[in-house]
Amino acid sequence: MKILVLTLGAVLLPLAAVAAEADAGRFQLERSGDHFVRLDRQTGAMSICQDKDGALVCRMAADERAAYEDELDRLAERVTKLEQEGLVQRALPSDAEIDRSISIMEKMMKSFMGMVKEFQAEEKANPLPQKT
């Protein structure tokens, strides 16, 4: 059992190292005065980082933050508009739509009643024999 665990660990360890190397090359840090600028090479996003109590704390750059806020505002307006349109669409149908629906139902009922009358006429003309 120990051999299996050791073998599995030996196989997976290089895979973890490769994944960590790929992620390590994703960001680039540049010193700028008393802080750092972090560039995400995959997305192009930039963050401003500061050393606080031995930990690197990053926040979005000002122009990125403004773009982020603008996008949030745009999406909020879109959601509000979609919600309002949804309420309008749930309104009652117009009189013309109701009249059209009733007309369709009348045609269907007349056709159905015509079939019922035909079956009744056939039944009177050719009654089924009594089997009791």
Q: Check residues 128 and 125 and name the one with the higher pLDDT.
A: 125
pLDDT tens-digit map of 34-84: 888 888 888 777 788 888 888 888 887 766 777 788 889 999 999 998 888
Check residue 89 and give its pLDDT.
62
As a whole number, mean pLDDT of residues 100-121 equals 96
Q: Check residues 106 and 1 and name the one with the higher pLDDT.
A: 106
Q: Which H or E element spans position 57?
A: strand 55-60
Check residue 87 and give its pLDDT.
65
pLDDT tens-digit map of 3-45: 644 454 555 555 554 444 556 788 888 888 888 888 888 877 7
Reading the block at residue 119, the tokens are: 């079956």
As a whole number, mean pLDDT of residues 120-124 equals 89
Reading the block at residue 79, the tokens are: 């959601």
The CA-atom distances, in angstroms, between 112 and each of 5, 16, 107, 117 are 75, 72, 9, 9
